[in-house]
Structure 1
């Protein structure tokens, strides 16, 4: 299957014009607590287009060593995602609040996050996408090659050694 076909496989579930918000965590074990949390929050889902899932990881993702690439948490067992989708912008607060409250409740079972599943969530969440030693390697690379933080319109790794005037924040 061509990569572009794979990447567009869920496009029909997210058509233009619908509003979207998501939150995510890695979860290492589905316990009685995770099940109770899901059972508490799932019935509050207010849109028929919204969903959540536990995606089982492992396999090829987990085979390389933890220090072979920046991809963090290769040993995570599940990627848990909350995807809320709705139509009316007057309902933004309700849907976003539901997703945030659900994600906050699941935080007790979280072991990190996949960096590509982050929205605008701040530096601490970006840091949680990586093992501490990997994050420090990324900071060192940022210090060496982008100390003024020009490439910051992403899940930004902040440099620790700004050089000269013109630093971007």
Structure 2
């Protein structure tokens, strides 16, 4: 839900999101603003990106902002839970996900099993949403080309280790 009146941080409309995006070399973390535009933060680690988004969104309602395609499994989640779900779904950047965050995903959102792993049906739904969101971004001219689906990335880079050293499943 867009903020009224709109608020900005470093010239970007809030709230910001930290999302996992596919690339030709494997998943990466990116920051996007309420207008679905990339927030360039050169040479930042995942933890730097997470701290930036937390500082930008401090004091805002705890939602991830609007999406172009509204059936994401992460709809209406606080941004940190949406990011945690995406990290767990893809198997990267898991070092920051505390037992409390896993418990919140499990009990409040109900998208994970007893051990805090996303249910495959929700991962598949998220993958379909990500592909549809990428198509919508391309159609609006906000992304030059659609990103490859995560399943193709994970199959092609089965041995690729993410920046946190966690192997992609």
Q: Does TM, scored on the shorter chain, surpass 0.5? A: no
TM-score normalised by the chain length of structure 2: 0.28
More strand by share: 1
Higher Cα radius of gyration? 1
